[in-house]
Structure 1
Amino acid sequence: MFSENKKNKMVENTSSQNIIAQGTTIVGDFSSQGDFRIDGTIEGNVKTSGKVVVGKSGLIKGTLEGTDAYFEGAFSGKLSLSGTLTLKSSAQIDGDVEVGKLAVEPGATFNVTCVMKGTVKEINNSGQTRRQQTEKTA
């Protein structure tokens, strides 16, 4: 994890991915700027501005706040993402979900209350969206 720069000073190379290995159980709250790869179990709250990948053996019980998440494993609790939630066929999601975009493969279990946030188009009385009305008059 260390390398030499041009002036022969030792510089630490840091990885921005956190890995929770299979067979590992962690109880508590996590906060990170980097990505997470979870193949073990987390019971608690996870908050990151990075991407979260939950492998087939991975499980999160609690809350997850982040940008994007990719699930092959299981989740139970409250999930809040500003970006995309991707569910592979082996994924099992239970709880409350708030996402920007959702991609679900056939076979995934998705037992949730889901809210999709993002761009909302206003519709005026004539049935045109605001964008269409602006383009028509311009």
Structure 2
Amino acid sequence: MAFRSDDISINTLVGSGSFVKGDMKVNGFIRIDGDIDGNLETDGAVIISEKARFRGNLTAKSVIVGGIIIGDITAKEGVKLLSSSAVVGNIISRRVQMEDKVIFHGHCISIEEENRYATAVDTFLQVKAIRDKAVIS
């Protein structure tokens, strides 16, 4: 999974030692070197660096994970888990790459064909919503 030339400049940076609590919606490419406790949504790419910790659901065009994520990842173009990464949650993407020594605990949906991907995502999200509601009640 490669980033296109329009993905090169970082629009948002959460620096090392920073802590963000709450949901975020940003435009473009975001790099996270600190900690986030909340959901993140972007129309661009996301890099979670090796020392970063993220707790929440992540929605982006593509994601590279080097740190820790506790939550679901939805990335239409692709997800790459580096050997230093740990993900406890579900991954939904058209392409998923995992290096050796990755820690992953969850379900993974990876379907290349657009219509089948969209159907699988819709079904998964409906089941998840029902399950989450049942747990809360």
Instruction: Name whichever structure is richer in helix by fraction.
Output: 2
List runs of 5+ in structure 2 lacking aligned partners.
1-8, 117-137
- Find runs of 4+ consecutive structure 1 residues off by over 3 angstroms: none
**Superposition pairs of residues 15-34 of structure 1, within 5 angstroms:** 17-34=11-28
- Quote the residue 1:111 is aligned against: 105
What is the percent sequence identity of the aligned residues?
24
SS in 2 for 1:22: coil
CA 1:80/1:121 → structure 2, altered by over 3 Å: closer, same or farther? closer
Q: Give structure 1 stretches of 5+ with no counterpart.
A: 1-14, 123-138
1:48 paired residue number: 42
TM-score (norm 2): 0.73
Bigger-Rg structure (1/2): 1
Alpha-carbon shift at residue 111 of structure 1 (Å): 1.1
- How many residues align? The count is 108
Higher strand share: 1
The match for 2:86 is 92
Determine the C-alpha separation between the residues in 2 that align with 1:55 and 1:121: 32
Write the distance in 2 (CA, Å) between the matches of 1:118 and 1:110.
21
1:53-73 CA-to-partner distances (Å, cap 9, x unmatched) read 011111110110011001110
2:70 counterpart residue number? 76
Q: Which residue of 2 aligns with 1:102?
A: 96
Alignment RMSD (CA, Å): 1.8
